[in-house]
Amino acid sequence: MKNVIKNLLIALVAVVGLVGCEKANDGAKPTISVESVGSADNMIIFSVKAEGADKCAYMLYDGDAISADKVLADGVQIKGDGNSTIVNNLNSGTTYYVVAAAMNGAGATLSNTVAITTTGNKENPENPENPENPENPGGGNDDLPEIDGVENLNIVYTKDGRWYEYYNFYVTLVADNGDKLILDFYTLDETMSCYLPYGSYNVGNTINPYTVHNESSWYIPNGVADEDGYLFTDGYVNVDVANGYYTIYFMLTYDADGTLHTVQGYYNDMLSGATVPKGDDEGAKRLIDVLDVTPTSFKFNINAEADQYWRCSIVDKRIYSQVTSNPGAWVINYGFMLQGPLTINWVDGQMFEYVQGYQMSVSPSTTYLVLAALMDYSEGKENSLLSGVEIVEITTPAEAAGTGEVDFSIKEIGVNEVTLSCLFGSDVWCCYVAMLESEMVEYARENYQQANCDSFEECMLSLIPGLSYSSMRQFIQPEENYVWDALNYDTYYTPCIKVVDQSGGVSLVICDEFKTLRP
């Protein structure tokens, strides 16, 4: 239990990659620029490059005055690192102004503005859009700009798309000339979801979110066996949705026996093995609605239809953030499954009435995550997700200050145990005593901000009830000769006490430290 407090305090920040964004520079504002790459009848392509940015966004606007704050607030948040972004479904013969902004702790920076004009004539287009094709509703596969040194591929369908194990999506794109691209998407932040998360995926050799893995993604010319294809060495793939179908744009480089080749392509249609989240392009209905939050409870609705099954999981954000972000796995492995609409009142110390044996305490000044997803409960598919995982953060407020007092003292010290006395004042309802190694208490005193707390006292009042029984005991009545065992020998301990008075108010008592004996 030595690292319990430290692990609870360290709320690791989930790093979400942004297109052209890198880690912030110390004390300096970020730099950001936009460059035109090309255009076609109904699309423009541009690149965004930022350095030292924690957040990036771009915006198409009318060319008038613009501010970095407006772009960051109202623009499109972009992911990845130094890659181009495609914007499709635009008008022919029209000039679009592109601007971007970046921000870090030192401030925000606005980029240069780039004007890009789509081809054709707005009133009488030279290249009118292709008529609707029922077999290919998205269309536009061959409407790509000509870029020197880049081969255009017209992707006509996808196959072999499926989730592999718990962390990635594997799909094959097929061009009209028979060439194939095998792409292995790593999507840890949407693990086990039934759809491919939108964003910009970079070619790389890590399993971080938004990566196309370069050891299992390759280009296969027509007539060449899959195993003899050429691995991708650089590039990116943008995933989005339009007209109710996936849109995929790629710019990828592969090494064919020492010679580098670059291909680009665009696809707007169904994607093998993946479904578009319900509500995209038509206004998504939220699955979770928060109704009420108190220091020791929260109430929320699950807005499922009467015949819909769903899974829900609830976790302390500090615990969730210590592991690789994988909401699908949390829902599948730790969630409870029910059916139809339901209002859930999660109360500290009470059994969740709908799931026998399911219990989790609710602490004040603590952020919890509620994760929920619709489920396919047909035979053989009991653990298949029908939707992406929806996540809602709930932060409980601090408890009211109390007036309760306790008289706590160590009466005898042993090698692995101590005998203590814990006597209540008349207004005390109960108290929680945490026997913590002194170095952990000092760590909490110096790093309480990492637990999103405003003070050391707030941090300890939040943490103490949730500690394991080996380091925390609840006293409902006074104790004069209580033996606390299972301590480490030759170790400094500091008893920390959360006192709850008869009106529900709380106070914190930090006792003098003691040292257990050597064997």
pLDDT tens, position by position, 321-360: 776 555 666 777 788 889 999 998 888 656 566 665 556 6
Give helix then strand counts, H and E, for the chain. Answer: 6, 34
Res 124 pLDDT > 50: no
Q: Which residue has the tokens 């239990």?
A: 1
Tell me the C-alpha to C-alpha distance, in Å, between residue 126 and each of 61, 92, 93, 123, 146.
Answer: 25, 9, 9, 10, 17
Res 361 pLDDT > 60: yes
Q: Which residue has the tokens 């103490």?
A: 464
Res 407 pLDDT > 60: yes
Res 206 pLDDT > 80: yes
3-state secondary structure of 431: strand
DSSP letter string, 90-156: --TT-EEEEEEEEEETTEEEE---EEEE-SS-SSS-SSPPPPPBTTBSS--TT-----TTEEEE-EE
3-state secondary structure of 414: coil
The answer to whether the beta carbons of residues 58 and 66 sit under 8 Å apart is: no
* Model confidence pLDDT, tens digit, residues 157-201: 888 777 665 567 889 999 999 999 999 998 754 444 567 777 778
Of residues 241 and 422, the one with the higher pLDDT is 422
Of residues 448 and 89, the one with the higher pLDDT is 448
With CA atoms as reference, report the closest residue to 510 among 448, 464, 450, 454.
464
Considering the chain, what is the average pLDDT of its residues?
A: 79
Give the per-residue pLDDT at 353.
62
Res 516 pLDDT > 90: yes
3-state secondary structure of 76: strand
Within 8 A by CB and 6+ apart from 63, the residues are 97, 113, 115
Burial class, 30, CB count within 10 angstroms (exposed 0-12 / middle 13-18 / buried 19+): buried
Parallel, antiparallel or unpaired: strands 259-269 and 150-153: parallel
The answer to whether the beta carbons of residues 511 and 497 sit under 8 Å apart is: yes
Res 473 pLDDT > 80: yes
Taking phi first (over 0 means left), then psi (-120 to 50 degrees means alpha), and beta for anything else, what does residue 276 get?
Answer: beta
Q: How far apart are CA 506 and CA 499, in angstroms?
A: 5
- What does the pLDDT average to over 432-436? 94
The answer to whether the beta carbons of residues 96 and 57 sit under 8 Å apart is: no
Q: Residues 288, 289, 293, CA angle at the centre, nearest 5°? A: 120
Q: How far apart are CA 397 and CA 111, in angstroms?
A: 40
Q: How far apart are CA 261 and CA 255, in angstroms?
A: 6
